[in-house]
A and B are shown apart, each in its own frame.
Chain A
């Protein structure tokens, strides 16, 4: 591009009179100011609606099963949303190995009537993604799912064009028929540096102004969390930094009221290895500095949900060095103190996966009040655990 400039120090543009520039500038800057001044002020959180029949079952219930996987050798990073009829639609990525070109985003549906999961099918393949994104895509990664204000399912997933996970970007596809069909994916822009190094793991949330919140994190040079606000079309229109530096990632945000929320993050810094916590009291505009909780964290993802009229749950690897123990912690004071309510994996004597890694938990509550936990089971299957409030009460 060096030849764009003349060596004599003059170019054709120099001949413009000033008034032409000023006339061109005036409407442009008026337009910019109108755009900014007319933007609505950000709304507060919309906490998850109280479950209609929360804790209605008197009998404690606890069940677990592996999701079908007849297609891929490796699976990871499950997410799920409740769909019509009390069903659950799960997503995860699978392929010959993590980062392989054949990795795709899979889905399966759980029916509450017979308690089974449907055979898995591909939602997004690498080829499908790059055809619609009109960009080369080398591999796919973490999916997360939520609903926008119109009730549409919004599936966010990570893709990489160059390099490792630090070169990730986030994409969005939308379904208006509970996940049967999906719109062409589109790219979210969240970083000025080639728009790389933005990933997702935590569940999206909603704001009272109709925007959607998407917890994201960055992994290039720094490791830190952010909260994106997305408009109805899925464009990032605002963002807030949850943390900074090189040691926090994979934020999970749990609102309690319009103003108040707590966020948990994976710790990738110096010992002691603990889950990180941040708080906001103004609807996510400002966040407290990160602090370490008492709960251990082996540089692994966590999941959290606030039950309707109930405690805060946190699914996590209860160890500082490995992902062999997956446990459930419970807090009745919104994250100030915790107690371990249950150990899902890592109990001595219980049958384990060939590879003892139980990670990337996704925890949620359905409209019936039941809690669902999905997680990577030995990197070969996704496991689904379902329990009700009565069972949880019995663990106290």
Chain B
């Protein structure tokens, strides 16, 4: 199995574990039970049945997930296992807004809306890199370190060729995390403006 496949399967497996842990609200269980459940889930996700593991089925549908998804999934797993939260609401909110902006720029154009294709910038564009650098410095200045961490992790994975993709976008964002960001912002908006919930 290639290194790309191992990394890709690990990402999809971690995402699956995060979804399972969050859905069953692992945090409510005793610590030993949490560990036993997550171990059992990991076996179910990663051990192949026949040719493919459950992670490979997920990968068939989602493709390789971005480092942003991996960081959020890893944080969710740890939060459910240890009860300790790694990402603050302020960081999460900023990350979600950034993801929504990126998704709004990327997906409609990538699906052929115009001749302009922002996805092509991810193969190597000074303008794209400079934009990322400015966003990262701004995040650093605003002490939004989760965003900085994700950018660094994505860039390192891209430079190492961890995935099959050679496009930086694929390391930064994917449709799943974009939907998650939309969901989080929607929930946050309803909490801060309860009138929206009653319309």
User: Which residues of A approach B to under 8 Å, CB–CB?
Assistant: 1-14, 16, 18, 21-22, 24-25, 28-29, 31-33, 35-37, 39, 127, 130-131, 133-137, 161-162, 169, 184, 186-189, 191-196, 218, 220-224, 226, 231, 235-241, 243-246
30 pairs across A/B with beta carbons < 8 Å? A1-B180, A4-B87, A5-B89, A6-B85, A6-B88, A12-B84, A13-B145, A14-B90, A21-B145, A29-B132, A32-B158, A130-B56, A134-B1, A134-B5, A135-B56, A136-B61, A161-B60, A186-B4, A189-B64, A189-B166, A192-B110, A192-B122, A195-B170, A221-B111, A231-B166, A235-B164, A239-B123, A241-B117, A241-B120, A244-B113
CA distance A138 to B148 in the complex (A): 39
Which residue from chain A places its CB closest to the CB of B120 in the assembled complex?
A: A239
User: Smallest CB–CB gap between B183 and chain A, Å?
Assistant: 8
Q: Which residue of B lies closest to A131 (CB)?
A: B51
Query: Which residues of chain B are near A193, meaning CB under 8 Å?
Result: 107, 110-111, 175
Contacts A35-B159, A192-B107; A237 near B166 (Cβ below 8 A): yes
A sample of 19 more A-B contacts (CB under 8 A), given A134-B5, A193-B111, is A2-B184, A4-B72, A4-B79, A4-B87, A5-B91, A6-B89, A9-B88, A25-B148, A25-B151, A28-B156, A130-B51, A192-B167, A194-B63, A195-B170, A221-B112, A236-B123, A237-B124, A238-B120, A241-B117
Q: Give Cα A368 to B72, complex, Å.
A: 59
Assess whether B110 is in contact with A9, with CB atoms less than 8 Å apart. Answer: no
- A29: which B residues are within 8 A, CB to CB? 129, 132-133, 136, 155
Question: Known contacts A2-B22, A11-B86, A189-B164: does B155 contact A32 (CB below 8 Å)?
Answer: yes
User: Taking A1-B180, A35-B124, A222-B113 as contacts, is the C-beta distance between A136 and B52 under 8 angstroms?
Assistant: yes
In the complex, what distance in Å separates the CA atom of A353 from the CA atom of B35?
A: 64
Most buried by A among B8, B19, B115, B120: B115
Number of residue pairs A-B, CB distance < 8 angstroms = 225
Please report which residues of chain B, range 100-147, place their CB below 8 angstroms from some CB of chain A when the two chains form the complex: 106-107, 110-115, 117, 119-120, 122-126, 129, 132-133, 136-137, 140-141, 143, 145-146
- Chain A residues, CB < 8 A from B51: 127, 130-131
Is A33 touching B120 in the complex (CB atoms < 8 A)?
no
| B61, closest chain A residue (CB) | A162
Chain B residues near A (Cβ < 8 Å): 1-2, 4-5, 8-9, 18-19, 22, 25, 27, 51-52, 56-57, 59-64, 72-73, 75-76, 79-80, 84-92, 106-107, 110-115, 117, 119-120, 122-126, 129, 132-133, 136-137, 140-141, 143, 145-146, 148-149, 151-152, 155-156, 158-159, 163-170, 173-175, 180, 184, 187
A1 touches B18 (CB 8 A): yes
Would you call B87 and A5 a contact (CB within 8 A)? yes
Report how far A18 CA is from B132 CA in the complex, Å. 17
Interface pair A5/B143, CB less than 8 Å apart: no
Of the residues B92, B106, B156, contact of A192 by C-beta under 8 Å = B106
Q: In the complex, how many angstroms separate the beta carbon of B191 from the nearest chain A beta carbon?
A: 10
A contact residues around B148 at 8 Å (CB)? 21, 24-25
Please judge, given known A-B contacts A2-B184, A13-B91, A189-B167, whether A36 and B126 are in contact too, CB under 8 Å. Answer: yes
A126 to B125, CA, bound (A): 37
Return B199 CB to nearest CB of chain A, in Å.
23
Task: Say which residue of A25, A162, A218 sits within 8 Å of B60 (CB atoms).
Answer: A162
Q: Report yes or no: B80 in contact with A3, Cβ–Cβ below 8 A.
A: yes
